[in-house]
Copies of this chain bind each other. A is one copy, B any other.
Amino acid sequence: MSPLSPVQQTVSEAHRLRLDPIATPDRLLLGPGPSNADPRVLQAISRPPLSHLDPLYLELMNEVQEMLRYAWQTDNRFTIPVSGTGSAAMEATIANCVEAGDTVVVGVIGYFGLRLVDMCGRYGANVVQINAPWGEALSLETIKAAVEEHKPAVLALVHAETSTGVWQPLDGIGEFCHAHDCLLLLDTVTSLGGVPLKLDELGVDLAYSCSQKGLSCPPGLGPFTMSARAEAKLDARKSKVPNWYLDMSGLKSYWGSQRTYHHTAPVNMNFGLREALRLLCEEGIENSWARHRRNSERLWDGLESQGLQLHVPVELRLPTLTTVRIPEGVDGKAFALHMLNAHGVEIGNGLGDLAGQVWRIGLMGTNSKPENVDRLLNLMEQELPAFRQTAAVA
């Protein structure tokens, strides 16, 4: 079957579909993510692609890096969007800075802590798990005691647990880690852009996030950052990073001054991320944090005034994601599906330990505004009684 063969090829028609153009509806995405993308971001994404080595694209990369530093409040030189989703950026932190045999203490306060445990195991770490019930945070004492006892190379914590809606306090943990020669790794998937977070002030060495929550961009990129301390650990590795795609020693040459080809960057997604970060720079990160808090408080008040119970105590509640207890007897999944199909509004179901127990309501990025809160509260008030009645009858 030479490409030059003059004979017309015969092919199988088995999987040839004849489809209509895409006609997806415009949903209001108030689940755990993706959130809605800002229209300006969607417009940027649809520009004609450039080459990943085009001088204009290289300039755009610099801008994206710089604005990510702003969003994270870090001076880290090595701050880039990984060419995959948040989970890829999560794996990048571990693949690069955990070597087989390293001890890693992982704080598990929900589903994503367990994912960190799974990933660390795949990279040969000696994993020590410290746990809190799903809906609580770890105490600073528990964390410090684990670091003192196990002397880990890395302490991995989740700043904002997407499965529970819990915010993890971190006061003094960074300093404590560094005094114990340990890197601090932080999951900021559901906090970046929406929850007060200053990486350098906190002493965070490795962090990752996603594009589709606080940043109002579609999913597809995973912001990643590493401190000079983390870079030093990468440089001192005895073995190659056992993951080619996420190997930052290879990616350094592309993102640095050499601009050596590594892989073909998802250029259009990066067009979108640039615009998303521009929006954040326009608003001011501190104003974005305050807006997220304000709108969530409006949501919490409204839900509680409808007699609904919030799963997380107010002092640990995330301003980006709220977990609401499903009232006794109500079929939570059926209600969420009804909201989606009848009203085009998405709320999330519970995950892991909280499956069937809570709904997860996200107010992230451009979605965090009073109109959305009110629309959701009105719909809940209007629609939930029928589901409660069904429960009462059954």
| Interface, chain A (partner B; CB < 8 A) | 1-5, 8-19, 21-22, 24-27, 29, 31, 33-34, 36-37, 40, 42-52, 54-57, 60, 63, 66-67, 69-70, 73, 75, 83-88, 91, 115, 118-119, 121-123, 167, 169, 171, 195-198, 201-202, 210, 212, 218-220, 240-246, 261-269, 271, 274-275, 278, 281-282, 284-286, 289-290, 292-293, 314-315, 317-319, 340, 346, 351
Bound CA span A198–B12, Å: 9
Bound CA span A262–B271, Å: 26
Is A50 in contact with B70, judged by CB distance below 8 angstroms? no
Which of B1, B121, B275 meets A22, CB within 8 Å?
A: B275
Minimum C-beta distance from A370 to chain B (A): 18
Which residues in B have their C-beta under 8 angstroms from that of A210?
264
Which residues in B have their C-beta under 8 angstroms from that of A167?
2-3
Which residues in B have their C-beta under 8 angstroms from that of A121?
240
Bound CA span A267–B245, Å: 21
Which of B56, B87, B351 meets A25, CB within 8 Å?
A: B56
Minimum C-beta distance from A76 to chain B (A): 10
Which of B14, B29, B36, B195 meets A70, CB within 8 Å?
A: B14
Which residues in B have their C-beta under 8 angstroms from that of A47?
22, 24, 42
Is B2 in contact with A60, judged by CB distance below 8 angstroms? no
CB contact under 8 A between A266 and B219, given known A2-B167, A34-B49, A56-B24:
yes
Which residues in B have their C-beta under 8 angstroms from that of A21?
40, 44, 275, 278
Is B4 in contact with A293, judged by CB distance below 8 angstroms? yes
Bound CA span A21–B277, Å: 11
Number of copies: 2
CB contact under 8 A between A122 and B242, given known A63-B17, A86-B264, A220-B268:
yes
Is A264 in contact with B219, judged by CB distance below 8 angstroms? yes
Is B17 in contact with A281, judged by CB distance below 8 angstroms? yes
Which residues in B have their C-beta under 8 angstroms from that of A1?
171, 196-198, 201-202
Bound CA span A43–B43, Å: 9
Main secondary structure of the interface of A (DSSP, over half): loop
CB contact under 8 A between A51 and B73, given known A19-B281, A66-B17, A198-B11:
no
Is B286 in contact with A243, judged by CB distance below 8 angstroms? no
Which residues in B have their C-beta under 8 angstroms from that of A263?
85-88
Bound CA span A48–B346, Å: 13
Which residues in B have their C-beta under 8 angstroms from that of A195?
3
Bound CA span A86–B245, Å: 10
Q: Would you mind naming 17 contact pairs between A and B with Cβ atoms under 8 Å apart? A: A3-B167, A9-B196, A11-B198, A12-B198, A13-B70, A15-B67, A17-B278, A18-B282, A19-B281, A31-B51, A34-B51, A42-B268, A87-B245, A88-B88, A91-B245, A119-B244, A220-B266
Which of B63, B201, B317 meets A3, CB within 8 Å?
A: B317
Which residues in B have their C-beta under 8 angstroms from that of A244?
87, 91, 115, 118-119, 122
Bound CA span A75–B14, Å: 8
